[in-house]
Amino acid sequence: MTNTDLREPATGNTAGAGNGNTAPDKAIPPSGGGSRGEARADFQQIGYYYTLRSHGVFERLLEAPGVAAYTNVCASVAEVYPPTGKPFMGGAVMTVHNVVPLDGEQVRIRVDSGWPQDIAVRVSLQYFA
């Protein structure tokens, strides 16, 4: 299959069809961050999880000790079986849309639970502080 055979599911547009969404040949430099060659050994990996109940696309403000606005935060989401608290692969297709670290040790997330009724979901955050 060549690139011209690829189509976007939502629009049906051919990939790379010159619609302005193709990547330029020049790489975009980072806007900020980086250590400029200075290694730090005092970072500590931190992980927290939050059991939430919601449906569809929803936002939550989470407490995340050690987080500031420039902290790199990764998030994952899974359906949770409430009696045991164990995550499992259920019928809902879940996605994390946005993860926004904030000053004041908080993270705002936007998640799609992929389900029309409220279900239990677990959002996990991983970061270094």
Q: Is 77 exposed, middle or buried (0-12, 13-18, 19+ CB in 10 A)?
A: buried
Residue range 99-112: mean pLDDT, rounded: 95
Burial class (CB in 10 A: 0-12, 13-18, 19+), 103: exposed
Q: Is the pLDDT of residue 113 over 50?
A: yes
Alpha carbons 36 and 113: distance in angstroms, whole number? 39
For the chain, the domains span 51-129
pLDDT of residue 129: 83
Q: What's the predicted TM-score (pTM) here?
A: 0.69
Q: What is the pLDDT of residues 56-65, one digit of tens each?
A: 999 999 999 9
Q: Is the pLDDT of residue 83 over 50?
A: yes
Residue with tokens 């799609």: 112
Mean per-residue pLDDT, 87-97: 96
Residue-wise pLDDT for 32-43, tens only, equals 544 454 556 678
